[in-house]
Structure formats: C-alpha cells, structure tokens
Structure 1
Amino acid sequence: MFGPVTARDDHPELPAGLTSRPLTLAEARVAYELLAAEQRLELDGRVEIEEADVVGDWQRPSFDVATRTIGVLDGDRVVGYAELTYDERGEAAVEPSYRGRGIGTWLAAWMRRTARERGSEIVGMPVPEGSAGDRLLTALGYHVRWTSWVLHLPAGARVPERDLPAGHVVRAARPEEHEVVHDVIEDAFLEWSEREREPMSEFRATVLERPGFEPWHLRVVVDETGEQPQVVAVAVVQIFVDEQSGARDAYIARLATRRDRRGEGLAQALMVDSFAAARERGVETAGLNTDSRTGALGLYLKVGMQVTENWVHRAAHLNG
C-alpha cells in the first residue's frame, strides 16, 4: 500500500547547470518531440502521439500554457518538459541523452506541486509498463491507478460486419449534431471516469479544431425511426501519421454508445464503418486504446483486435 507523497518531497534541486521556465504555445512542437523520442526508445521505434495531440490539449480554453507547463533547459535547448494537462493528470518527458541526471524526478515534483496548488488530491500520468518512466514513478511511491492497452487489427484483418437495427444509419455527423455528439460521449465516459463534465468548448478544441480534423472523422449511428432522428452512438476517428516512416494509422480516439442502446452492436458497426472510411482514403492499418475502467477490452478482442502495448497510469496521493 503506497502512502501519500508529501509536500516535503515536492522541492528537489534542479540538476546543476540547468534552468527552467514555462513553455509557450509555439513550443508545442518541442513537447511533442520530447514525448516522441521517449516513446521511440521505449516502444521499439513506435510513436503513439502526434503534434496535433499536444496542440489540441494546449489550445483548450481551460489550459493556461504559462502555468500548466514547465521546460528544463540546457542553455537555450529544452531537454525535458512536463505539463499538468488536467488537474489530476499530466505528461512529462526527458530527452533520452539527458536521462539519469534527476530531471525526471524534478519534473514529477513540479507536477505534484502544481496539482497540489490547484487543489488536487491525486495526480498521475500514463507510462509504458516496464519503461524507465514506470520504474521512476514506482521508486517515487506512485501506485497504478488503472491499466490501459493499445490494440491494432492484424494486417489484412477486418472487424466482422454487424447489421444495424432497422431504421438506423451510420454516417458522418452533421454540424448541427455536434453538441448532441458531445453529450453522448460525455454521458458514456462519465459512467466510469471520475472528473467534471467536459464543456463543449473543450471538445471543440481537442476534436473539431484539432489540427488535421476533417468532417468525416466524426462518425455517428442515427436512429431515424422516430419523429426526430437521434444520435445513439459515436466514434471519433483520427489519422495518425508517423513522421519518420510516413505510415498512417486509423485510430478511434473515442467510442461511445448511449446507455439505453447498448447490446445492439452499434459500437461494432461504428468500428466497421470508421475503418472502412479510412481505407477509402488509403489508410489500411487501424487501432484504438482502452483502459481497465471501461470494461471494453473484451469487445475489441472479440472482434479480432490484438493488444500491442501495455500502459499503466501511475499516480500519487497529495494529501500528506
């Protein structure tokens, strides 16, 4: 049983010769490059993040880059960074050649201190299981809050077709449906996620205004049997591009079904549709991720997806 990380632990010394300062929105690229470099090292050359992910998070109305980010510099060069993306969750990365100098420990302390100042009782971050980051956070007393998995379809495989109920269609969402789409996602995610309801403005920043977004990325199942069509299931698709290899991957970032319509195969039909829409645009590989809070892993395994990565969300209690 891990005890709380107390305020006494939140003020380690920055390694000699290094300085720190908040980052700016223009430095989202720097943060991405640090995260990507760490992932390539820990994930056998793979990267599970795009610059657009950082930009989408940083352009949210609730995210103040000046107070929620910190960079560690060697001269003018940023060699490590951390962000408090949400009050209980952050990201951090250190340039691989600068590991072992205590930068990661310093960044973890900054994240705890910043979260504590914002009134949070716990803060954590996702790390590949068994990675250097996982080992560091374990040594600092962090516990596993949940486990997550990245899954992909094997080459040439397809999700089995699933017929929609009569009177239902699957298509791209229309602009006038965006707020309802957001409600379906939030209602579903808040059944297992312990957080405040996401405002529409945050959804707009991370999905609709995310760099590279196209209207076809937002897929919906619509029930047309009543007087008014109703959105009953949603998938948010992103096309991930590996900058080094150029490989493209269709990635379902969010998948949600209205609670009263589960068990009808709507999520599976959306997966079939989403990956087919991507294939029409030349993207043959497909993936998504899920975590132990959702209970959805079994569905993805059942339709033929395979786990390719294991991640853990390690967190520290801050009530000490």
Structure 2
Amino acid sequence: MATIDGYYFQVCTKGAERAGKRVRDLTLGTGLDPADFAAPGWRGSAEAMALLVRNIWAALDDEFMGHTARGVRPGSFAFACELALEGADVADGLARAARFYNLLDAGIATGVRATAAGLEVEVRFAQPARDPDHYFGEFWLIIWHRLACWLAGETISLLSAEFDYPRPDAYFEEFKYLFPCRHRFDGAARRILMDGHALHAPIRRTRDELEAMIAAAPLDIMTIPASDASVARRVRQYLTRSPDLTLEELAAATGLSPHKLRRLLRAEGTTLATIRENVRRDKAMRLLTSGNATVEAIAEMLGYAEARSFTRAFRQWTGRSPSAWRAGTG
C-alpha cells in the first residue's frame, strides 16, 4: 500500500479543528496516533488517510472538510461520480461532475475545458484563507486527475500543474510525487493539464465498479495511479529490497524490455529516477530515525557511491544534513 508523508496527516485535520473537533476523536478507528504526525520521517498508509478523511466527512457532515464557507453533504462525491459515468468520454464525464459541484455553490468553482495541449482543470476558491495550508486545494486537484484515471481505466499523464502561491518547500518532495509533472508557482491560477488522451478516452467503468469505488472512497481514488497492480508499484517493491538495481535488471525482473518499462512508467506519470529517489528518501529517514548505522553505511546501503552524494541528496529532500536530521529526531 502506498504511504503518505506525515505532513499531510497534520494539515488534513485543520479544517475540522477550526470547527472545534479534536484530532484524537477524528483518528478513532483509523489505527493512527496523532503524536506520530509531526515525527520527522513518519509516514502513514493511504488506507489510514482514507479512513481519517471519512471520519472528518462524518464529523463535519461536509465532504469539503471545513475548508469552504458552505459544507457539501456526504454523498455528493458519489452523485458526482454517477453523473461522470454517464459522460460520452472522460472529458465529458469530468465536465458533468464539475457542473454539479458548481451548482452547489459551496465556495469552489471548478472549470473543465479542452485546450490545444490537453484537458485542463482549474479551481478557484471563493475564500482561500479558509485553506491556509493549501491542503484541500491540492487534494481537490488530485481528485480530478485520479477520477479521470479511474473513469478511463488507465493512468492519464499529468503534463503540468500551476499554483497561485509560492513553492511549498516544507513538503515539496512529497508534492512532486503527488503532481509528477512540470510545476509553476506564484502563477495566475490553480490548474492542472492532463494529456490530450483524456479528451477522447472512453469511459470503461461499470455501475458495479462505481459502487465498489464509492464504498471504499476516497481510498481507490487516492491510490491511483500508484496502485498495487501498477508497474511503478512493482518497481518500487524491487528497489525497496535492492535500491541499486539498474534499468536492465528491473526490466528482467518485471518481464519487460527496458524500453517498454520506461514507456509504461511514463504512462503512469513517473520515471525510474523519481521512484528510486522516493525509495531512497523513505529508507534513509527510517534508518536515521530508528538505527545506529553511520551516514557512510547508510549511503552504501542506499546505493550511493560516496557519502557526499547521499548527503547532497538528503539536503535536497529535507533541507538538513543526515546528521542534523538524526540529531533532531533523537
């Protein structure tokens, strides 16, 4: 199961906290300990995050999780997906769902339109100050991309993402995984651009599949495209065990040619370099937090030729050296 950085668990509950809800109550039945959220290097499962989101929906009676002036009753996402399923194609399905949400007039205007470059989804918050951490704005954009992937039954590549606020350095490494594409910050709007395939891709889902997805919502949507059956997931599993495996070795392990492996990873919106970096980051944080291995030994375990290369990479991930990170978690 995919994992999510603790930062997102911290900010996920902020809307509910402003409404007077206690984090401890919101985590009941999720297996989560709120004390872990701020622990350096801690990551929770996507399944636990989905349970937490469902608890917030129920506690506030609001699928927008307290981030807009007016709430959206639970069941709205299910109805929007029913409308999307009736679309002539993926682009039409998303447009139908967006029209429904816009009619609710809850505080987020969502536009879906075809451009020369692909399918664009733009969102505008009536009161951006209600989402100061940009958590729900990013979550909302991700949902539209993942819904497109779900409707098509395949991963539709993200080409670019624009945001009307500065680059989020505090969680940018995780951000890059959620938005695996070109980024622009301090822009004029919040929008994503999907590959033009989304403009005419047929809807391949059935009513039964919709009911199953809604029953598990938002888990299935959150884990697309990083699903357990994806090529990216298989590659991540191999690299977790042996982080220095080459493209050729991974291709042989997955039964694919190197060219096809690269192509399939691109279709899932990622690259071998991105997966390798994420695996190394997660393992490095675990080793530094819970073990006594030297920085040099950890660098070797992660496949770096020298400790200096590892230290440089770790500074890019966290803004701190491995030694400073360890000192801060001890």
TM-score by length of 1: 0.25
- When you count strand as a share of all residues, which structure comes out higher? 1
TM-score by length of 2: 0.25
- When you count helix as a share of all residues, which structure comes out higher? 2
Greater relative CO (CA pairs within 8 A, separation 6+): 1
